[in-house]
Structure 1
Amino acid sequence: MPTATWERLPEARREAVLRAAEAEFAAHGFSGGSLNAIARTASVAKGSLFQYFSDKADLYAHLADLASRRIRAAMEQRIAELPWEAGFFPAFRQLARDWVAYFAVNPLDRAFTAAVNLEPDMTARSAVREAANSHYLEVLRPLLRTARDAGELRANADLDAFLALLLVLLPHLALAPHNPGLDPVLGLGSGDPERIEESVDRLVNVLVAAFAAPDARR
């Protein structure tokens, strides 16, 4: 995470470094991202970057955490707007569609979501995955508990298993429409909005079949 030196920097200098690093890593990933290019674009010395962050992975993890916070804020706002009182699964179905739509128009956050899930460098992936997981769990766990308490989920529903599935499903929904080959079955990468929405619904239907209470609204 950022050092005290970073926190003392003028806001304009911090923004220049962040924008340069986001653009570089979004375009090339962690492994291909160049600290030299970041420093050059931000008009700072490369050595200064190591005064701001302990290493390249630390900078990368910070950027991924910022992306996760942006995604979380957008989804929390949408969650607050959805009519959960009319049924957990109808609202969650719409949230899943909105999730796909968010990443269609936010390529930077999509790039860092890809970094969290697809980055080949284990050190970088572990660092950013830890930050992202905490945001997912802090938002999703209360939703599932509330749904269970409201009788929308089976009384014996395994919430940890549900959460584990969502940690796999949500990144897949974010990335598959923009990465041909990630979904060779349902058509998330087809480019056809109607087919993508149908694919989202089919995946949510699997969760309904596995976890919904018999009389839950679907």
Structure 2
Amino acid sequence: MVRPRFARLPPAQQQAILGAALDEFAAHGFHDASLNRIISAAGISKGSMYYYFDGKEDLFAHVAHVEFERLLADIGPLRLAGELGPDAFWSAVERYYRDSVAQLTACPRLASLVRAWLRASDQPALQRAQQELEGEVMPWIERVLVAGQSSGAVRTDLPTSLLIAVALGMGRAMDMWLMAQPPADAAAPPIGALVGMLRRALEPQA
């Protein structure tokens, strides 16, 4: 994990390290990224890098965490009206997904980092970091599901924990598929169809 002494570095030096790491991971993915190239680009010694991070896994996890937080801040919150029905709720979800994809399309380097993160999901050394990241977004997902239930858009006959697990699993599968598409196909991704699949899985049953 990132060590507290990294936070005590001057902001410019932090950005030099994180920027070099982002470039490397975006260009080469997690497995083929070189810690030595990151160290060289950041202009620090190998000893200094291990003074701030335990290794490549911790650096990758921290860069991903920082960039995902920035992405969510740029997209903003999911905007739900005070009184909304099922169609309005799912339209808001679709708009949020479209905004997310638009942000990634506008920043290819970040999109490459997301691809690297998804491809490294089977890496044991990163599983804890991925679980921690999911834990941070869990309250947000639960709030959205509760809002969906209040609007009649999400079923109430199953435990919330199961609904969250379904939403996370489908969302992860959709993201992996979407991010694997060639750039030429990413200009008009089938967001409506993907959200429609999620809706059919979570909406109340007739």
Q: TM-score, normalised by structure 1?
A: 0.78
Point out the more displaced range, 61-70 or 103-112.
103-112
Q: 1:200 aligns with which of 191, 194, 203?
A: 191
Partners of 2:174 and 2:194 within 8 A in 1: no
Give the equivalent residue in structure 2 for 1:85: 83
Q: Aligned AA for 1:91?
A: A
Once the two structures are TM-superposed, the CA of residue 62 in structure 1 deviates from its matched residue by 0.9
- Alpha-carbon distance between aligned partners in 2 of 1:11 and 1:61, rounded to the nearest angstrom: 19
Partners of 2:94 and 2:192 within 8 A in 1: yes
Identity of aligned residues (%): 27
Give the equivalent residue in structure 2 for 1:139: 140
The alignment status of 1:16 with 2:16, answered yes or no, reads yes
Once the two structures are TM-superposed, the CA of residue 106 in structure 1 deviates from its matched residue by 2.5
Partners of 2:153 and 2:203 within 8 A in 1: yes
Give the equivalent residue in structure 2 for 1:209: 200
Partners of 2:142 and 2:164 within 8 A in 1: yes
Partners of 1:6 and 1:52 within 8 A in 2: yes
- CA 1:108–1:168: 2 relative to 1, 3 Å: farther
Give the equivalent residue in structure 1 for 2:66: 66
- Alpha-carbon distance between aligned partners in 2 of 1:192 and 1:114, rounded to the nearest angstrom: 17
Partners of 1:154 and 1:213 within 8 A in 2: yes
Give the equivalent residue in structure 2 for 1:105: 106
- Alpha-carbon distance between aligned partners in 1 of 2:82 and 2:106, rounded to the nearest angstrom: 25
Partners of 2:104 and 2:110 within 8 A in 1: yes
The alignment status of 1:38 with 2:29, answered yes or no, reads no
3-state SS of the aligned residue for 2:148? helix
Partners of 1:30 and 1:60 within 8 A in 2: yes
Partners of 2:121 and 2:130 within 8 A in 1: no
- Alpha-carbon distance between aligned partners in 1 of 2:4 and 2:155, rounded to the nearest angstrom: 49
Q: TM-score, normalised by structure 2?
A: 0.82
Q: How many residues align?
A: 203
The alignment status of 1:26 with 2:17, answered yes or no, reads no
- CA 1:105–1:176: 2 relative to 1, 3 Å: farther
Point out the more displaced range, 25-34 or 122-131.
122-131
Once the two structures are TM-superposed, the CA of residue 159 in structure 1 deviates from its matched residue by 3.4
- Alpha-carbon distance between aligned partners in 2 of 1:165 and 1:174, rounded to the nearest angstrom: 14
Give the equivalent residue in structure 2 for 1:156: 157
Structure 1 spans left out of the alignment, 5+ residues: 182-187
Point out the more displaced range, 64-73 or 111-120.
111-120
Structure 2 spans left out of the alignment, 5+ residues: none
Partners of 1:177 and 1:190 within 8 A in 2: no
Give the equivalent residue in structure 2 for 1:95: 96
- Alpha-carbon distance between aligned partners in 2 of 1:96 and 1:44, rounded to the nearest angstrom: 38
Give the equivalent residue in structure 1 for 2:180: 179
Moved over 6 A (4+): none
Partners of 1:93 and 1:204 within 8 A in 2: yes
Point out the more displaced range, 49-58 or 117-126.
117-126
